[in-house]
């Protein structure tokens, strides 16, 4: 009985040092996102059920994100008709920073705002930018960290394959 408080204290300390949630992997059910399209409209993955979603995490301060935007615009132009939805979640704490980024690199695809970082936390994002390809069944098909022009071709192959599976 005397050990009980000690055990409680150890448990309390252990809880404080608990590790981060496990990162989202291929085959996992994609967690719901907590972003907003604008002040009043929430942006949720459930709205795009049955479609292939490329979920991208970006920030105004992230260099490779600047490279990925023109590529995602091209993807949108090429595959939107086949059912690809690109959802780019901004993680800037101040939305003005993201708006400035968009003024220079307009996005044709959907942009969501998550200043609190709840969505990248749910996906346990490892790098900026990160993209998660989600199949029509709502399962994660591929997680990609960072963006380089060399990665683009391989990613596009995966996206095209996911769209072919959908049909």
Partner 1 sequence: MTRTACTLLAAALLAGCAAPQAPKPWEKGNLSRPEMTMAGDALDQRFTQHIYQSKENGTGSSGVGGGGCGCN
**Residue ranges binding partner 1 (CB under 8 A):** 2, 4-6, 8-9, 12-13, 16-17, 57, 59-64, 91-93, 97, 117, 120-121, 125-130, 145-148
> Under a CB-based contact definition with an 8 Å cutoff, are residues 62 and 141 in contact?
no
Residue 80 Cβ vs partner 1, minimum distance, rounded to whole Å? 26
The least CB distance from residue 25 to partner 1, in Å, is 17
**Closer to partner 1 by Cβ: residue 34 or 121:** 121
Least distance to partner 1 from the beta carbon of 133, Å? 18
Output the CA angle 148-97-42, nearest 5 degrees: 90
> Would you say 87 or 125 has its CB closer to partner 1?
125
Burial code (b: 16+ CB inside 10 Å, e: under 16) for 29-68 equals ebbebbbbeeeeeebbbeebeebbbbbbbbbbebeebebb
Query: What number of residues does the chain have?
Result: 167
Least spacing, CB of residue 125 vs partner 1, in Å: 6
For partner 1, the closer of residues 84 and 130 by Cβ is 130
β-pair partners for 35: 43
Nearer of residues 1 and 40 to partner 1, judged by Cβ: 1
How many CA atoms lie less than 13 Å away from 79 in the CB half-sphere? 25
* 121-to-26, 50, 57, 88, 130 alpha-carbon distances in Å: 17, 24, 11, 15, 12
| CB of 117 or CB of 138, closer to partner 1 | 117
Q: How far is the CB of 6 from partner 1 (least distance, A)?
A: 6
């Amino acid at each position: 009985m005397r050990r009980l408080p000690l055990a409680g204290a150890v448990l309390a300390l252990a809880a404080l040092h608990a590790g981060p949630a496990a990162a989202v992997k291929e085959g996992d059910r994609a967690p719901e996102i907590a972003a907003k399209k604008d002040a009043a409209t929430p942006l949720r993955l459930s709205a795009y059920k049955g479609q292939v979603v490329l979920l991208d995490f970006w920030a105004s301060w992230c260099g490779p994100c600047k490279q990925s935007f023109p590529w995602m615009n091209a993807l949108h132009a090429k595959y939107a008709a086949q059912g690809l939805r690109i959802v780019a979640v901004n993680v800037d704490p101040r939305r003005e920073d993201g708006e400035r980024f968009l003024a220079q690199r307009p996005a044709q695809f959907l942009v969501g705002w998550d200043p609190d970082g709840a969505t990248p936390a749910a996906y346990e994002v490892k790098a900026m930018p990160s993209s998660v390809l989600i199949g029509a069944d709502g399962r994660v098909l591929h997680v990609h960290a960072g963006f380089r022009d060399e990665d683009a071709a391989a990613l596009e192959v995966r996206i095209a394959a996911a769209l072919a599976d959908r049909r």
